[in-house]
Amino acid sequence: MLDDRKLAVLRAIVEDYVHTEEPVGSKALVDRHNLGVSPATVRNDMAALEEEGYIAQPHTSAGRIPTDKGYRLFVDRLTTIKPMSSAERRAISAFLEGAVDLDDVVHRTVRLLAQITRQVAVVQYPTLTRSTVRHVELVTLSSSRLLIVLITSTGRVEQRVVDVGTTVADEFLRDVRARLNAVVAGRPLTEAASAVADLPDMFDVSVRPQVTTIVSTFLETVAERTEGRIAVSGTANLIPFGADFHTSIRPVLEALEEQVVLLRLLGETTGPSGFTVRIGHENPVVELSTASVVTTGYGPGDEAVANLGVVGPTRMDYPGTMGAVRAVARYVSQILAGE
Please check the confidence at residue 138 and state whether its pLDDT lies above 50.
yes
Listed ranges 75-89, 213-227, 249-263; the one with the highest mean pLDDT: 75-89
Please check the confidence at residue 154 and state whether its pLDDT lies above 80.
no
Q: What is the DSSP string of 114-135?
A: HHHHTSEEEEEPPPGGG-BEEE
Question: Within a 10 A sphere around the Cβ of 281, how many other Cβ atoms?
Answer: 12
The arithmetic mean of pLDDT across residues 52-77, rounded, is 89
Q: What is the pLDDT of residue 246?
A: 66
Residue 3 to residue 24: CA distance in whole angstroms: 20
The pLDDT mean for the chain works out to 86
The arithmetic mean of pLDDT across residues 184-212, rounded, is 88
Q: What is the DSSP string of 144-192?
A: SEEEEEEEETTS-EEEEEEE-SS---HHHHHHHHHHHHHHHTTSBGGGH
Question: Within a 10 A sphere around the Cβ of 30, how many other Cβ atoms?
Answer: 19
The arithmetic mean of pLDDT across residues 98-118, rounded, is 89
User: What residue ranges define each of the domains in the chain, with the CATH number in brackets?
Assistant: 4-76 (1.10.10.10), 86-127+228-336 (3.30.450.40), 129-222 (3.30.390.60)
Please check the confidence at residue 116 and state whether its pLDDT lies above 70.
yes
Closest by alpha carbon to 292, among 258, 329, 245, 333? 245
Q: What is the pLDDT of residue 32?
A: 86
Q: What is the pLDDT of residue 136?
A: 92
What pLDDT, in 10s, does the model give residues 228-253?
688 999 998 988 887 777 667 888 88
Q: What is the pLDDT of residue 228?
A: 67
Question: Within a 10 A sphere around the Cβ of 322, how many other Cβ atoms?
Answer: 23
High-pLDDT (> 70) share of the chain, %: 94
Q: What is the pLDDT of residue 301?
A: 72
What pLDDT, in 10s, does the model give residues 6-31?
898 999 999 999 998 889 988 888 88
Q: How far does the chain reach from its first CA to its final CA, in angstroms?
A: 45
Question: Within a 10 A sphere around the Cβ of 1, how many other Cβ atoms?
Answer: 4
pLDDT band at 226 (very low <50, low <70, confident <90, very high): very low
Please check the confidence at residue 268 and state whether its pLDDT lies above 70.
no
- HEC readout, 300-327: CCCCCCEEEEEEEECCCCHHHHHHHHHH
CA–centroid distance for 280 within its chain:
19
Of 178 and 269, the structure prediction assigns the larger pLDDT to 178
pLDDT band at 68 (very low <50, low <70, confident <90, very high): very high
What pLDDT, in 10s, does the model give residues 279-294?
999 988 888 888 999 9
Closest by alpha carbon to 140, among 181, 173, 171, 166? 173
**Beta-strand (E) ranges in 164-305?**
230-233, 275-279, 291-298
Q: What is the pLDDT of residue 227?
A: 52
Report the b/e string of 157-195 with b at 16+ CB within 10 A: ebebebebeeebeeebbeebbeebbebbeeebbeebeeb
Please check the confidence at residue 178 and state whether its pLDDT lies above 90.
yes
Q: What is the pLDDT of residue 49?
A: 92
- Asked if 67 and 54 touch (Cβ cutoff 8 Å), the reply is yes
pTM of the predicted model, to two decimals?
Answer: 0.77
User: Facing residues of 160 across strands?
Assistant: 148
What pLDDT, in 10s, does the model give residues 297-336?
888 777 778 899 999 999 999 999 999 999 999 999 888 8
High-pLDDT (> 90) share of the chain, %: 32
Closest by alpha carbon to 54, among 35, 71, 36? 71
- Edge-to-edge strand order for the sheet containing 145-152? 133-140, 145-152, 157-163
pLDDT band at 110 (very low <50, low <70, confident <90, very high): very high
- Asked if 214 and 138 touch (Cβ cutoff 8 Å), the reply is yes
What pLDDT, in 10s, does the model give residues 23-60?
998 888 888 888 888 888 888 998 999 999 999 988 77
pLDDT band at 179 (very low <50, low <70, confident <90, very high): very high
